[in-house]
Amino acid sequence: MESVVDCQPSQRLRIVHLADNTGRLQVIFPENCMVDIAAVSRITKRRFEPVACSHSAGNTLAKPNNMSTLLEASILQEDYVTIKTKSDASPRKIDTSALKTLFSGPLNRFENIAINTQKIKRPADNHEEDEAQILHALGKFQSIRLKTRLEETLEIPPLPASSHRIIRLSSDETAGTDELCDVIALDPSLAAQVVSWASSPYYSAPGNIESVEDAIIRVLGFDMVMNLALGLSMGNGFQSPDNGPRHYEDFWIDSVSNAALVESLAKHTPSHLRPKLGHAYLAGLLNNFGYLAISTIFPPHFAILSRYQEANAHLPSEWVEMQVLNFTKEQLGSWLLRYWSLPDSIWMAIRYSKKPHYDGQHATLAKLLYISRCLRHEEAIDPAALVAVGLSIDQAEACREAVYQSSTELKKMVDLMNKMNAS
């Protein structure tokens, strides 16, 4: 083999190890493709799952003929490919004929096991088309009986009563601290969470925070407490799934970190562009709410989706969602939030959070969600998105570092929240 410095992504191969109770299987396919676990199961007559260590870099190549291996058949159409033989090594070029010889033993087969990502349907461009697209997708789920409207089709978990009260309160322009305290006090667990949030080292409040009123007046402010309480109460009704992708972080740690980062980014945007800080925090907290919704409303499909995401951690999550579900978590999550009458800025920003060139209503908040996701996943940020919100890359990265430095305090807040929810 010879080293390759500049290789085309379409010629690079990805390696993923799957396993069942009998043993392991190595799968090799082009990096611009998605491994089709259903196809692997049909070919092998076994039900494989990705090993727990699957991640965006993929697995290390096992020595040929030491492990059963399936290779994508379209690889043979290339003159050469590049493959990473060791985790710390550079990709290496190999003639396809030599690759075929290497994997010519009885444990190896070339089969159609991958889907070219260019053939995967993309989500609707406009949120007004989401309901029709989701309904069409649900028509393929034989276990779901379709009706004329999405809310009639889905078995939507009831929104907690505290959430309904806070949503109604948020539309009352005359509401003040007393009314908000009264609403939160009706849910003792929620009140305790708000107080613990304000008491955490993350906010460095002097003295003890002994009541929701203290949390509002001395630390968080009216808007922040209202939106924080709304996010927490909604989260109480949708518990984190047990069967999610194993290489993902804890849902609430990820959500709280995202909320803190979006809020920090919003504080640094020019005042004439700046969204409400409470809305920025809530949008960050609920940005991945569709993930909980899928796990709650479609448990079997969520389990399948999770295994596909593990095996295809190199691809954008919406591509995997479109292949498995035919809609994205942003589409479902934003639809639900709209159905529950949350502010337009929240659900619209979430809906367009992966479209850096979106310039419609609430585009600034949508771009802040996009920038936050790129920062947390160390992905390149579209420079135009930074310009549109009036931030430099140095400012954005400084916000990320500040949140990272507070990660211990944020985790303590989440641990306390999880403990209260479990009690």
**Strand residue runs (E) in 78-231:** 80-83, 92-95, 108-111, 114-116
pLDDT of residue 170: 79
Structure tokens at 269: 């945007």
Tell which residue, 414, 69, 102, has the closest CA to residue 240.
414
What is the C-alpha to C-alpha distance for residues 48 and 37, in angstroms, rounded to an integer? 8
Which position has the higher pLDDT, 148 or 302?
302
Location of structure tokens 């070919």: 43
β 69-72/24-30 pair status: parallel
Q: What CATH superfamily classification does 127-155+238-422 receive? A: Hypothetical protein af1432 (1.10.3210.10)
Average the pLDDT over 130-142 and give the result. 88
Which part of the chain is CATH 1.10.3210.10?
127-155+238-422
| CATH number given to 2-119 | 3.90.960.10
Structure tokens at 185: 């006090």
What is the C-alpha to C-alpha distance for residues 110 and 27, in angstroms, rounded to an integer? 10
What is the C-alpha to C-alpha distance for residues 410 and 423, in angstroms, rounded to an integer? 20
- pLDDT tier at 11, thresholds 50, 70, 90: confident
Q: What is the pLDDT of residues 143-180, one digit of tens each?
A: 777 777 888 888 787 778 888 888 888 777 788 889 99
Q: Mapping DSSP to helix (H, G, I), strand (E, B) and coil, where does residue 108 land? A: strand
Which part of the chain is CATH 3.90.960.10?
2-119
Residue 108's contacts (CB-CB under 8 Å, 6 or more residues apart) are 64, 65, 68, 69, 70, 71
Q: What is the pLDDT of residues 334-367, one digit of tens each?
A: 999 999 888 899 999 999 999 999 999 999 999 9
User: Does the structure show a pLDDT above 60 at 100?
Assistant: yes
User: Does the structure show a pLDDT above 80 at 9?
Assistant: no
Percentage above 90 pLDDT, the chain: 49
User: Does the structure show a pLDDT above 60 at 5?
Assistant: no
pLDDT of residue 24: 93
Contacts of residues 188-194 at CB distance under 8 Å and 24 or more positions apart, as own/partner, are 189/236, 189/420, 189/421, 189/423, 190/162, 190/229, 190/232, 190/233, 190/236, 192/420, 193/232, 193/416, 193/417, 193/420, 194/220, 194/225, 194/228, 194/229, 194/232
